[in-house]
Amino acid sequence: MILPCNESMNRWINDSILRFLSAAGPYLSNMNRASEVSRTESWPDARGRYGEFGGRFVPETLMHPIEQLTEAFEAARRDPKFQAELDHLLRHFAGRPTPLFHARRLTEHLGGAQIYLKREDLLHTGAHKINNCLGQGLLARRLGKTRLVAETGAGQHGVATATVAAFLGMDCTVYMGEEDMARQAPNVFRMRLLGAEVVGVASGSKTLKDAINEAMRDWVTNVTNTHYLLGSVLGPHPYPLMVREFQRIIGQEAREQILTRTRRLPNLLVACVGGGSNSIGLFYDFIPDREVKMVGVEAGGRSLTLGEHAARFAGGKPGVLHGTYTYVLQTPDGLIANTHSVSAGLDYPAVGPEHSALYRQGRVKYCHVSDAEALEAARDSSSWPIQNPKSQIQNLDDDGCRYISN
């Protein structure tokens, strides 16, 4: 069983999963068999579609830069020099490969599955975001851009973007909701220390969705010299593909490491899902292995009342947001719903289109964890001995999974 670790609430959400792992071993055999999965290298198609999801829904002014970016990305994938430079930076600048840590004492306490943690939190800047930022930063330089613009929620993507901009000698502007700036003040300080301009967003819910809105407006206005370094598997094609390809090193390393350590594949992969970059990075190279189950965990917030959570697969429906067709939390009138999560960055009202396709296909199960459950699990797993009794899986069906504690 493998979970990727990231700083702040990503780790808390993963911690909450540990509360039911003791029951996971015997339960895995009862999970519904996934539908037949072909090699997913065929995803996306030429239109950027993952089945019915994905695509490009953008104003005409962005079509040329998006097509230019697509061509540059496809050329870079085939360019040995580009790949060699990216690999060098991932190893010697970011700190790859990251360890796969066997959580022995937690495994013993829970008495079930052997738990391994993929330590993405040990990368330079403290999260997996640097993988994508290095790749897109090199692409921006290849395109002759001199400025990076980005959005951030928890601040980790903003810090990684500011770091790459400083390394490459580019200007950098990061948009961040004012609410997120208040609860992630240390990361705001880090971005500014690295020379980035951090712009607070006061519109809407003052969180990630609104920061993306402003970043896209900036990009439209300054498209000649600016690259939009989108932080997750969201947005119009080629962003979901591009970010996945830069993040799949997580799963490639984890696969090699678990086979070396245990001489077998894991039973289960677990990862939190905001936009979905760390989870798709872990899941992607295991998708053809039907014996490997996968669970994505969304932010359940305060309740499943619309506006109180960010669990897209528990309350959303297909729609278009920020250039892609995917599952979106919407009002009955089709407006984008407000969201909530104690985690800055997991409160986005949509999810990456490839996750929507994997959900529809049945290959990945998606569940949600509430604020209270996540905070309780974070406290429990940060102390020894763990105070609360073991949790159990209550229910798992085609719509996802729901977990409660005793």
Q: Which residues pair with 243 in a beta bridge?
A: none
Q: Is the pLDDT of residue 146 over 60?
A: yes
Q: Is the pLDDT of residue 309 over 90?
A: yes
CB 173 within 8 A of CB 107: no
For the chain, percent of residues with pLDDT exceeding 90? 78
Per-residue pLDDT, 39: 46
The arithmetic mean of pLDDT across residues 138-158, rounded, is 97
Rounded to 5 degrees, φ, ψ at 198 are -105, 120
Domains 2-44+96-120+248-404 and 54-94+125-243 share a fold: yes
Q: Compute the residue count for the chain.
A: 406
Alpha-carbon distance of 20 to 305, in angstroms, equals: 24
Q: Is the pLDDT of residue 162 over 70?
A: yes
Per the listing, tokens 């992607």 go with: 284
Per-residue pLDDT, 345: 86
Q: Which residues pair with 50 in a beta bridge?
A: 53
Output the pTM of the full model: 0.88
Per-residue pLDDT, 398: 40
Q: Is the pLDDT of residue 12 over 50?
A: no
Count of C-beta atoms within a 10 Å radius of residue 119: 15
* Token code pair at residue 125: 């800047």
Per-residue pLDDT, 38: 53
Q: What letter represents residue 168's amino acid?
A: L
Shortest CA distance to 251 belongs to which of 288, 224, 220?
288
Q: Is the pLDDT of residue 41 over 60?
A: no
Question: Topology of 2-44+96-120+248-404 in CATH?
Answer: Rossmann fold (3.40.50)
Alpha-carbon distance of 55 to 49, in angstroms, equals: 5
330-384 pLDDT, tens digit each: 999 999 999 999 998 899 999 999 999 999 999 999 999 999 999 988 887 777 6
64-114 pLDDT, tens digit each: 999 999 999 999 999 999 999 999 999 999 999 999 999 998 888 888 899
Per-residue pLDDT, 45: 96
**Would you state the CATH architecture of domain 54-94+125-243?**
3-Layer(aba) Sandwich (3.40)
CB 239 within 8 A of CB 322: no
Q: Where are the domains of the chain?
A: 2-44+96-120+248-404, 54-94+125-243
CA angle 186, 189, 195 (to 5 degrees): 150
277-299 pLDDT, tens digit each: 999 999 999 999 999 999 999 99
Q: Of 30-34, 40-44, 88-92, 314-318, which range is least confident?
A: 30-34
Shortest CA distance to 239 belongs to which of 54, 42, 14, 35?
54
238-280 pLDDT, tens digit each: 999 999 999 999 999 999 999 999 999 999 999 999 999 999 9
- CA 268 from centre of chain: 18
